[in-house]
Structures are given as C-alpha cells and as structure tokens.
A = this chain, B = another copy of it.
Amino acid sequence: MTAPDYDQRIEHWKTALHQNGYRVTQPRLQVIRILAESEIPLTPQEIYQLSLGLDSPPGIASVYRTLEMLDDLGLIQQIHQPSGCHAICPAVEGHKHLLICTSCGQMRVVEGNEAVSEYIRMIEEQTGYQVEEHLLQLFGICQNCS
C-alpha cells in the first residue's frame, strides 16, 4: 500500500469513528495503523504482539474492543483460512460447493462448478497467481424457510 493510500485509509477510518460517535483514542489509532499497513491478514493476538513494539502499547482488551468496533462499522472483515474454523460436517466427495441456509442451518451440496473453474483460470491469467485451492460457500434461505 503506497503512503498516500495508507494515509487516506487512516483518515477515512478516523472520520468513520467520529461520525459514529466513537472517540479517536491512541489505542484505537495504534490498532488501526497496524491493520492499515499490514499486507497480510492478522489475528487479534498477532495485532497485539505487533503493538508491543510501540511506545505505550494498548492492552489486549483494547485490541479486542477496537476490532469489535471496526467490525460493527464494517471496516474490517474476517478471513476464513482453510485450516481455521470450527464447525464441522461430513466431507463431500470431490470438490463441491456448499449452500447453507442461514435460517435453519440446512446445508446442501451444489452440483456443477465449471463456471467457477473458468473464473479461476481468468484470475490466474490476470494476476500471475497460481491458484491451488478455493473456498466458496453460499449462504441464503432455503425453500422451507422462505
């Protein structure tokens, strides 16, 4: 992230805090700066560890509180690493995508993923990345619940 983009993001976030009645405090700024300048996703613990290098680092509780606030404001988002999460279901044979009802939790497997494969080939050309894995999960309302 280039310097002006970085500064702009910080300003954007500070404005968002103001506009929503939150105070712009040192601990919050420290967390925000760490997030804004990182090129990789960070866990709360990692953010806290990084903050320890600063002058008067925030307490761990403030790191969590700040993240909750930023999440409420829609300024951050969760990254779901393939290794990370908790809920478990029987494995689907081969690579299929899952469709989960946000009302009843019912889950079904979606057939046919040529469209996605095509999309990924395009991404590879566009970015030079070699895409090895993907996570696609669809959330919605099933026929029962609607």
Chain A residues near B (Cβ < 8 Å): 9, 35-36, 38-44, 47, 67, 74-92, 98-102, 104-108, 110-113, 115-116, 118-120, 122-124, 126-143, 146
- Contact yes or no, B142 A105, CB < 8 A: no
With both chains docked as a complex, state the minimum distance between the C-beta of A127 and any C-beta of chain B, in angstroms: 6
Does the CB pair A92–B77 fall under 8 Å?
yes
Residues of B within 8 A of A88 (CB): 35, 41-44, 47, 67, 76-79
**Interface residues of A, dominant DSSP:** mixed
Identical chains bound together, number: 2
Cα A9 to Cα B100 in complex, Å, equals 21
Which of B9, B118, B138 is A115 in contact with, Cβ under 8 Å?
A: B118
